[in-house]
């Protein structure tokens, strides 16, 4: 893209740096991670947004955009910014996203493609009924509002304690499926009303549940694959992508309004885009949002935990064997819409930073403290969803990930608006074409399916190549879809 070539210095084959002189108010340079292949799909809006992010108080080192980056709300999707909380760093809902803790979960089985192929239609149809999808969908877990407040505090732990999962699941989630600072008192009743009946649901948009195959020719690192549970040729795995539904959206909406009222009048903070509304992290408003946002994170972990429980039920019913016997074990659960306090080394010194990841995945390297013990020597598993027509990836965090505060891409990244996609593809035709390619799809609407056509996204292989070449994550396996439920 000519615009980026004009304003950015090419630091390496995968890093483009925009200097602080580009825009008045920039406190740090902005860096976009992309190969020459991906540059053509970086729109000018991303340049404008990531350089706006570079003006926020407390931002440390760089404003970063991952290889799947595209235009978003406030931050570009794929945006990363670390704020020094001891130097006036801010917290911004636009740097986290409306779907708080939208994330990925990957589950292995001991089944092969040969085992599953005769049952794929039955599996997808049953999963479609067991895991509600679409706008306004409600889950089968019936909670009172007070029960829901417990979920907001306990996250996935609540699910396991109430029979929706295994103790071992908790060890294989980012933050063990719960952040301790969540405070339901900082959440509006409207948010509670929107979320208390949505546990165990996919939602809409780009959320999905997919049955995939780890073909033996698509294993890039056999040692890492074995460590992460991929141990047999053509092994079947299940991946799903969802978040905090209407609850997270309401939390973000509520606090954006709070921040807009106090940002300039109380704290003297001016932003170049009102979508970057923020407050000092250590302010009463900043702390209240942080506590409410952590409720969104915990709700999402619980949501994915109940979905996993339903998946285990369906597979057990179809194959007439227990979930344990089928080897339905978690690989990992990762978030990609969060802000979390982390310790990072910056210019040789340890600093406490609030790392905003908006459409970006945490990718901690080997021997880091928050990596599960089972993966400590290998690095954190990283789950990257591609389009429903192409494939997805399992990656691992690497030591050189410190350059992005150990963050990497979260998906393939849109390159076409949903409106244009609906005009370009017919959902009904797309569904038939995918079936002819061996991918059985169920969706709540034909138009929603059209929005998610593979052609509306960047090439996931190019995105993963850029992330690996940049040294921010490492390929382990490519996963090919055979069954898909689309929200």
Residue 79 · residue 69 · CB < 8 Å: yes
Q: How far is CA 396 from CA 40, 108, 357, 447, 471, in A?
A: 27, 16, 17, 35, 11
Structure tokens at 203: 């939602």
10 Å Cβ neighbour count for 52?
23
Look at the block and give the residue holding tokens 């946002």: 293
- The dihedral region occupied by 60, where left means phi > 0, alpha psi between -120 and 50, and beta the remainder, is beta
Name the catalytic one among 207, 241, 309, 410: 410
10 Å Cβ neighbour count for 322?
11
Instruction: Say whether 410 is catalytic.
Output: yes
- Which helix H or strand E contains 342, and what residues bound it? strand 337-346
Structure tokens at 67: 């290889």
Residues 306, 308, 311, 313, Cα dihedral to 10°:
-60
Q: What is the DSSP string of 76-88?
A: PEEEEEEEETTTT
- The dihedral region occupied by 137, where left means phi > 0, alpha psi between -120 and 50, and beta the remainder, is beta
Annotated catalytic residues are 410
């Amino acid at each position: 893209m000519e615009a980026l070539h004009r304003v950015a210095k090419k630091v390496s084959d995968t890093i483009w740096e925009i200097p602080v002189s580009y825009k008045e108010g920039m406190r740090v340079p902005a860096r976009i991670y992309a190969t020459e292949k991906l540059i053509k799909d970086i729109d000018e809006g991303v340049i404008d947004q990531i350089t706006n992010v570079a003006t926020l108080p407390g931002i440390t080192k760089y404003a970063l955009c991952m290889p799947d980056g595209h235009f978003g709300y406030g931050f570009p999707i794929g945006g990363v910014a670390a704020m020094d909380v001891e130097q006036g760093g801010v917290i911004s809902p636009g740097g986290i996203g409306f779907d708080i803790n939208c994330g990925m979960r990957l589950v292995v089985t001991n089944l092969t493609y040969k085992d599953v192929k005769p049952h794929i239609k039955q599996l997808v149809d049953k999963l479609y009924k067991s895991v509600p999808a679409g706008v306004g969908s409600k889950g089968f877990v019936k909670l009172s509002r007070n029960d829901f407040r417990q979920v907001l505090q306990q996250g996935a732990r609540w699910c396991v304690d109430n029979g929706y999962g295994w103790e071992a699941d908790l060890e294989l989630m980012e933050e063990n499926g719960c952040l301790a600072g969540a405070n339901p008192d900082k959440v509006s009743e409207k948010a509670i009303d929107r979320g208390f009946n949505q546990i165990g649901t996919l939602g809409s948009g780009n959320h999905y549940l997919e049955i995939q195959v780890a073909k033996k020719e698509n294993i890039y690192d056999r040692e890492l694959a074995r460590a992460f549970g991929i141990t047999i040729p053509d092994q079947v795995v299940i991946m799903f992508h969802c978040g905090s539904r209407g609850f997270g959206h309401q939390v973000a909406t509520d606090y954006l309004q709070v921040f807009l009222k106090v940002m300039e009048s109380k704290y003297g903070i001016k932003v170049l885009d009102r979508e970057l509304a923020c407050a000092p992290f250590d302010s009463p408003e900043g702390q209240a949002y942080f506590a409410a946002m952590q409720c969104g994170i915990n709700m999402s972990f619980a949501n994915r935990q109940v979905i996993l429980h339903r998946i285990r039920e369906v597979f057990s019913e179809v194959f007439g064997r227990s979930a344990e016997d089928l080897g339905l074990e978690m690989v990992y659960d990762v978030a990609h819409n969060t802000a979390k306090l982390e310790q990072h080394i910056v210019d040789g010194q340890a600093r406490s930073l609030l790392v905003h990841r908006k459409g970006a995945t945490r990718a901690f390297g080997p021997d880091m403290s928050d990596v599960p013990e089972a993966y400590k020597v290998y690095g954190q598993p990283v789950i990257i969803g591609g389009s429903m027509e192409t494939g997805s990836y399992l990656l691992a965090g690497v030591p050189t990930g410190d350059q992005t505060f150990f963050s990497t891409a979260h998906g393939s990244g849109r390159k076409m608006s949903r409106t244009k996609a609906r005009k370009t593809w017919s959902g009904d035709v797309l569904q038939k074409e995918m079936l002819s390619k061996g991918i059985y799809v169920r969706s709540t609407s034909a138009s929603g399916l059209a929005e998610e056509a593979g052609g509306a996204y960047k090439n996931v292989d190019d995105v993963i190549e850029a992330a690996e070449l940049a040294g921010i994550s490492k390929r382990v396996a490519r996963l090919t879809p055979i069954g898909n439920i689309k929200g």
